[in-house]
Amino acid sequence: MSLFQIFSDGAADIPNHIAKQYDICVIPFYISLDQKIYQKELVELSLSIFYQKMIEQNVFPKTSLPPIQDYIEAFTPALESGKDIICFTITDTLSGSFQSAMTAKQMLEESYPQRKIYIENSWAATGSQYLIVREAARMQQAGYDIDAVHDYIQKAKADSRIFFLVGTLTHLEKGGRIGKVAALSGSILNIKPLIVLANGEINKAGIARSRKKAMIKLSELTKEYIQKNHFSVSDFTFTIGTTNTPEEAISFSEILKSDLPDMEFIEPFQIGATIATHTGPMTIGICMNKKFEAYLSQ
């Protein structure tokens, strides 16, 4: 069995202690608060400063994907040490990060033809991407090789979901990521738009008349998805992501558990600047991904 190194772009919002625990190398996006200077997320720009600027000063940030050179510089030491590589990127419908990583792969394959380099378009983002990467790391620790992890990803990314709520559609509109949710008007009668990220695409999932009702509806959507597809809730790992309202994770988890008592949660996480730039503040979502064990009998 060959050794391999796991990478992910910064859109996965992997908590720092999880990245350290599983030896996951994160390649950050760049964020600009003034449309001029771009800083590496979490390396040069902290989340506390980011949210302060966004909320208190009403700043509309911009993002820039990791350039090809960043991927080359990240991958090269692993390849030099004789390791294969598997790298996860945000869905290619929301960013060019996948293509940037693919170009780096193609350039490096000329120098390291004996090494395997998998670039995985996760069809996901933030928490669902995080859970997929985490599951790959669990497989690695359990002794699975890189090909088994690659095979798992092809199945898991189709079953992965995020059901989420944004405060308003303003940031999605400004970021050009609104797409098929454009018909949801969050500015009329205090309507709360509900959105789903599935198979790499953002789509509208409904509306609610208040934030609490929106969370109840998100829970119902999660339950409906599991039941409609005849899944077992125990086959999934769940996590809740929030932008600037971490206290809501507790009440939201209670709503979810009332619908699906057997849900297995890992600790909530904070949605990072790359994603929050496009969703805006007051975003909360339930992220889910199938455990690798769920596919072993299929």
Average pLDDT over residues 137-165: 98
Query: Looking at the structure, do residues 221 and 138 belong to the same domain, yes or no?
Result: no
CATH of residue 59's domain is 3.40.50.10170
Domain of 175, in residue numbers: 160-295
User: In whole angstroms, what is the distance from residue 161 CA to residue 198 CA?
Assistant: 5
Average pLDDT over residues 132-141: 98
Question: Which residue's structure tokens are 């359990």?
Answer: 142
CATH of residue 214's domain is 3.30.1180.10
Give the three-class secondary structure for 44.
coil
Q: Give ∠ CA 140-145-197 in degrees, rounded to 5.
A: 65
Model confidence pLDDT, tens digit, residues 204-262: 999 999 999 999 999 999 999 999 999 999 999 999 999 999 999 999 999 999 999 99
User: In whole angstroms, what is the distance from residue 86 CA to residue 88 CA?
Assistant: 7
User: In whole angstroms, what is the distance from residue 113 CA to residue 206 CA?
Assistant: 48
Q: Domain boundary at 133, 158, 183, which?
A: 158
Q: Domain boundary at 158, 187, 217, which?
A: 158
Domain count, the chain: 2
Cβ–Cβ < 8 Å for 153, 120:
yes
Query: Looking at the structure, do residues 21 and 31 belong to the same domain, yes or no?
Result: yes
Model confidence pLDDT, tens digit, residues 186-207: 555 568 889 999 999 999 999 9
Element (H, E) at 289: strand 284-290
| Residue 106: partners with Cβ closer than 8 Å, 6 or more residues away | none
